[in-house]
C-alpha cells in the first residue's frame, strides 16, 4: 500500500470520527460543511435512498444535482471535480380530450323504464238511485312501480273524466267515487292497438259481466232501470263477444253467464 493510500485511509477514518463527534455534539458535520460549500448532497441520506433531494438555500445551486468525480493521482493526491448534468425536461402528461358525447341522463332513465298499458274495471254507486254504474279505463304505466297504486290512479283520473275510452262517464254529485274491481296489464302502449291486446279482451269481458251482475244495461232491460249503464259494454252481436267473455272468465272466474248472441 502506498503512502498516499495510507493517508487517504487515515483521512477517511479521521473524517468518520469528526462526523460522529459532530452528530453527538449537535453541530454541523464535515459532510454538511462540504455539501454547503460544493452544493452536493452527501449528507442527505434519505435523498440518496429516494433518488430525490430536498432543495437547498437559494444561494446554492439547489435546483441542479451536482455530479461528483473523485480522481486519485498516482502520487496519492485526491482531486474533486463537480459538473452539472444536462437538465431534463419534466414529464408532462398530455391533456385528455373531453368525451365526444356526454350521456343523456334523461334518455338513460327513460330507456330503463319499462312501460305497459294497465286496464282496470270499476263500479260507481249512485246514492240517489241506489244503482251501480260499471266501467273500465286504461292508462300507460311504469311496470317497475307498484301496479295496484297505478290502477287506483287510473280510476281516479277516469272519475275526473280524463279518459280515452269510448263510453261517456255519467256525471252527478250523487255518484260515489269509483271503486276498483280488477285490473290487468298489457303491452298495447298505443290505445289504437288495444284489440290485439289480450289484457284488453279480459277487462272488456269483465266490464260486461259486471253490468250483467248488477242487473243489466238499460238497453237490455228497459224501465225500471236496474243499473246506471245506458248501453252494454259488449254488444250482443259483437263477433268478439264470446272471446271477451271467456278471456275474463279464465282470469277471474265467471261473474255472470254470457248474455250475447
Per-residue HEC secondary structure of the chain comes to CCHHHHHHHHHHHHHHHHHHHHHHHCCCCHHHHHHHHHCCCCCCHHHHHHCCCCCCCCCCCCCCCCEEEEEECCCCCEEEEEECCCCCCCCCCCCCCCCCCCCCHHHHHHHHCCEEEEEEEEEEEECCCCEEEEEEEEEEEECCCCHHHHHHHHHHHHHCCCCCCCCCCCCCCCECCCEEEEEEEECCCCHHHHHHCHHHHHHHHHHHHHHHHHCCCHHHHCCCCCCCCCCCCCCCCCCCHHHHHHHHHHHHCCCCCCCCC
162 and 71 in a common domain: no
Asked if the structure places residue 234 within a domain, the reply is yes
Asked if the structure places residue 92 within a domain, the reply is no
pLDDT of residue 36: 59
From 35, 68, 83, give the residue that closes a domain.
83
Asked if the structure places residue 50 within a domain, the reply is yes
132 and 42 in a common domain: no
The tens place of each residue's pLDDT in the chain, 261 residues long, gives: 554 544 444 444 445 444 544 544 556 655 565 555 555 555 554 454 455 555 544 444 444 444 445 555 555 555 545 555 555 544 444 445 444 444 455 555 554 579 999 999 999 999 999 999 999 999 999 999 999 999 999 999 988 875 556 566 777 789 999 999 999 999 899 999 999 999 999 999 999 999 999 999 999 999 999 999 999 999 999 999 999 999 999 999 999 999 999
Asked if the structure places residue 248 within a domain, the reply is yes
240 and 156 in a common domain: yes
227 and 120 in a common domain: yes
Asked if the structure places residue 25 within a domain, the reply is yes
Asked if the structure places residue 195 within a domain, the reply is yes
230 and 124 in a common domain: yes
What is the pTM for the complete model shown? 0.57
CA distance 234 to 21: 112
Per-residue HEC secondary structure of 184-242 comes to EEECCCCHHHHHHCHHHHHHHHHHHHHHHHHCCCHHHHCCCCCCCCCCCCCCCCCCCHH
pLDDT of residue 85: 52
- How many domains is the chain partitioned into structurally? 2
CA distance 222 to 83: 117
pLDDT of residue 184: 98
pLDDT of residue 165: 60
211 and 144 in a common domain: yes
CA distance 219 to 28: 116
Work out the end-to-end distance of the chain between its first and last CA atoms, rounded to an integer number of angstroms: 130
Grid-cell match 263477444, residue found: 241
Range of the domain at 210: 112-252
pLDDT of residue 9: 46
59 and 135 in a common domain: no
Quick one: 238 exposed, middle or buried, by C-beta within 10 A (0-12, 13-18, 19+)?
middle
79 and 37 in a common domain: yes
210 and 124 in a common domain: yes
pLDDT of residue 212: 98
193 and 138 in a common domain: yes
248 and 153 in a common domain: yes
pLDDT of residue 235: 97
57 and 135 in a common domain: no
pLDDT of residue 239: 96
Amino acid at each position: 500500500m502506498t503512502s498516499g493510500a495510507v493517508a487517504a485511509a487515515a483521512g477517511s477514518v479521521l473524517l468518520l470520527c469528526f462526523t460522529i463527534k459532530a452528530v453527538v455534539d449537535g453541530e454541523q458535520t464535515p459532510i454538511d460543511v462540504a455539501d454547503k460549500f460544493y452544493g452536493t448532497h452527501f449528507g442527505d441520506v434519505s435523498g440518496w435512498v429516494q433518488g430525490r433531494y430536498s432543495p437547498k438555500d437559494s444561494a446554492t445551486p439547489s435546483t441542479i444535482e451536482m455530479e461528483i468525480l473523485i480522481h486519485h493521482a498516482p502520487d496519492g493526491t485526491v482531486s474533486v471535480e463537480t459538473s452539472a448534468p444536462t437538465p431534463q425536461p419534466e414529464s408532462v402528461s398530455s391533456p385528455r380530450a373531453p368525451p365526444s358525447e356526454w350521456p343523456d341522463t334523461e334518455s338513460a332513465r327513460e330507456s330503463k323504464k319499462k312501460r305497459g298499458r294497465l286496464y282496470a274495471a270499476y263500479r260507481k254507486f249512485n246514492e240517489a238511485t241506489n244503482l251501480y254504474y260499471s266501467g273500465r279505463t286504461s292508462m300507460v304505466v311504469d311496470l317497475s312501480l307498484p301496479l295496484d297504486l297505478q290502477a287506483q290512479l287510473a280510476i281516479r283520473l277516469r272519475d275526473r273524466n280524463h279518459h280515452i275510452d269510448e263510453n261517456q262517464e255519467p256525471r252527478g254529485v250523487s255518484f260515489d267515487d269509483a271503486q276498483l274491481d280488477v285490473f290487468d296489464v298489457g303491452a298495447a302502449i298505443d290505445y289504437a292497438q288495444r284489440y290485439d291486446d289480450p289484457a284488453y279482451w279480459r277487462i272488456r269481458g269483465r266490464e260486461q259481466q259486471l253490468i250483467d251482475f248488477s242487473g243489466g244495461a238499460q238497453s237490455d232491460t228497459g224501465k225500471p232501470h236496474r243499473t246506471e249503464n245506458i248501453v252494454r259494454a259488449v254488444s250482443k252481436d259483437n263477433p268478439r263477444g264470446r272471446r271477451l267473455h271467456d278471456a275474463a272468465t279464465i282470469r277471474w272466474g265467471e261473474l255472470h253467464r254470457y248474455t250475447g248472441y
